[in-house]
Amino acid sequence: MKLVWTEPAVNDLRGIHEYIGQDSRFYAEQFVERLILAAEKLADFPGLGRMVPEAGTESIREPLFQAYRIIYRLEPERVSILAVIHGSRDLVGRASKPWDVT
């Protein structure tokens, strides 16, 4: 199955890298690389993640990687990574939801 990273998800990765990189560029690169590898497993195992409770639909799913939620949309021919969000962030209170990305 094809794996596609949306622009917001790529921006999330950059933000995570930048944040961790304030303390250590080495650990920032290591962490983001491992996060990407965890997401790439979805190409072979698209049903790996649980349904995102806030989304209320089977097609919006997420595996957890350490404290981060890798939110994706399961489509017939591809998996679209929509966002990478820290688990402590409130998705219910956000005006725009990650799954509103087209």
The predicted pLDDT at position 97 comes to: 76
- Domains of the chain (ranges; CATH) run 2-88 (3.30.2310.20)
Which positions ≥6 away from 57 have C-beta within 8 Å? 51, 99
The predicted pLDDT at position 90 comes to: 80
Extract the tokens encoding 49: 């993640």
pLDDT tens track for 57-70? 899 999 999 999 99
Residue 89 is given by DSSP the state S
Distance of CA 74 to the CA centre of its chain: 12
Extract the tokens encoding 44: 């072979």
Q: In angstroms, rounded to a whole number, what is the distance separating the alpha carbons of residues 13 and 84?
A: 7
